[in-house]
Structure 1
């Protein structure tokens, strides 16, 4: 399940709770599209804003709605005890894997990050994906740290930050990391606007935000790269550049939130406070982009 397209949907959330029906609809839509796996409670899924009970609820809904498509559930939290409890909830819900970012308030030393993964993998019965997301967590993984963690039991994949835009530099980045980790551990690219470059550079998977709402276009890009059609993968990404520009300007979560409500797949608002959606002007710009790309319906 750690190759191909892993689609990360929005978790529609209000101050009253999770919109289970809308969320189940988003997940089922991905399963019908044929994504390789579904990432529940990633950053797009707003995991950090939800209680343990809400996260357990989301995990159960996702596994049920996925109807056999593997579901990876985010278990990141500030304290190791909380992560262990969330891991148990995810496994009880039937998750096929878990995704762990080392959340921080106090800065973490490398040994503390390693200790977190060591403690968690010791208790796991499902595979784990390491979530390397320095822009959000402020934890900067070295390749040496990745190498230590990748040799722990149950570690199956690493979700890396965006690769360099230059294809040669991207190939070097992926190849360098590959030499540090076991052959059994896959590398997945994030940062959607670099997905084609990352896949063409040798990444095994794309951990995708846009795939969580527009799986067909994400699958087309992924399958092109998988069959070695590097030019088509790049062309597919280039066609989406107006959307990537909005991701970089406003953040992919807010863009996907507005797109989901525009498509009638969720209500409005669908983000937990204090997060706000796009401004009216930005929303108008998004709708124009979606219409131009043929994604507005």
Structure 2
């Protein structure tokens, strides 16, 4: 499951509760598109805003409606106790893998992060993906730390931030990390604007936000890159440049993706956990026009 397209859908809310009907609808789109894996309770999945019971229910729904598509469930939390409980819930729900970011209110040291992964992997019966997302966790992994963690049992993939857009620099970045980790640990790229660059540079999987809502275009980019058609992958990604620019303008992909889901009737408005809010007014109208122009509506 740690190759190809791993699509991360929104966890839509309604009246401050998980909108199970809308969530199931998003899952069905991914199954029909035949994505390689589904990732729930990542950053786009609003995991940090949900209770244990809500997260447990999201995992259960995802596994139930994914058919044969592997499901990776986010287990990140502020303290180890809750991470371990979330891991137990994910495994009990039938998750094929778990995703863990080093969340913390206080800045973490490298040794603290290593001990987090050491403690969690010692309890797991399913693979783990290391979630390297400094934009939300404010922790920056060194390649050497990735190398140490990748030796732990059950670690099977690393979800890295976007790579440089310069092709040679991207290859060098991926190669530096690859030299420090075992062959059985895949390298996956996130940061949708850089995904084609990462896949072209040797990443084996795209952990995709846009793929969680529009899996077909994400699948096309992934297929082109993995089929060694780098220019086609870049061409398809460049068509989405206005979307990537919106992501950057609004502090990440979540607000834009949530608004797109609302525009297309895939989620009711508002669908984000308060105090977060989707785009409104002229910004929402502009996104509706953009979706139509891109052929996504």
In 2, distance between residues paired with 1:15 and 1:164?
40
Q: Could you tell me how far apart the structure 2 residues matched to 1:16 and 1:130 are?
A: 29
In the other structure, the counterpart of 1:188 is: 188
Partner of 1:134: 134
The equivalent residue for 2:213 is 213
- Per-residue displacement from partner, 1:100-129 (whole Å, max 9, x unpaired)? 000010111111000000000000000000
What displacement does 1:285 show?
1.3
**Equivalent position SS for 1:111:** helix
TM-score (norm 2): 0.99
Report deviation, 1:13. Answer: 1.4
**2:39 counterpart SS class:** strand
Give CA deviations for 1:205-250 in whole Å, capped at 9, x if unaligned. Answer: 0000000000000000000001100110000001111111111111
Q: Which moved more, 1:242-251 or 1:120-129?
A: 242-251
**How many residues in Structure 1 have an aligned counterpart in Structure 2?**
296
Do residues 42 (structure 1) and 34 (structure 2) align?
Answer: no
1:17-56 correspondence to structure 2 within 5 Å: 17-56=17-56
Unaligned runs of 5+ in 2: none
CA distance in 1, matches of 2:122, 2:272: 34
C-alpha separation between the residues in 1 aligned to 2:220 and 2:202?
17
Query: What is the DSSP-based 3-state SS (H/G/I as helix, E as strand, rest coil) of the residue aligned with 2:81?
Result: helix
What SS does structure 2 have at the residue aligned with 1:180? coil
Counterpart-to-counterpart distance in 2, 1:38 and 1:280: 32
CA distance in 2, matches of 1:68, 1:217: 21
- Return the alpha-carbon distance in structure 2 between the equivalents of residues 187 and 282 of structure 1: 35
Aligned counterparts of 1:265 and 1:288: Cα–Cα separation in 2 = 17
1:11-37, Cα deviation, whole Å (9 max, x unpaired): 001443100111011011101101000
| Aligned structure 1 segments of 4 or more residues deviating by more than 2 angstroms | none
Q: Does 1:270 align with 2:271?
A: yes
- Mapping of residues 1-150 of structure 1, within 5 Å: 1-150=1-150
Pair 1:168 & 2:168 matched: yes
Task: Please name the residue that 1:279 is paired with.
Answer: 280
Other-structure match for 2:228: 228
Distance in 1 between the 2:16 and 2:248 partners?
30
**In the alignment, is the contact (CA less than 8 A) between 2:14 and 2:268 conserved in 1?**
no
- Contact 1:121–1:153 at 8 Å: present in 2 too? yes
Question: Is 1:77–1:103's contact at 8 Å kept on the other side of the alignment?
Answer: yes
In the alignment, structure 1 residue 255 sits paired with structure 2 residue 221: no
1:238 corresponds in structure 2 to: 238
Preserved contact between residue 16 and residue 273 of structure 2 (Cα < 8 Å): no
The 3-state SS of whatever aligns with 1:162 is: coil
Two-structure CA RMSD over aligned residues (Å): 0.7
**2:281 and 2:123 mapped to 1: Cα distance?**
47
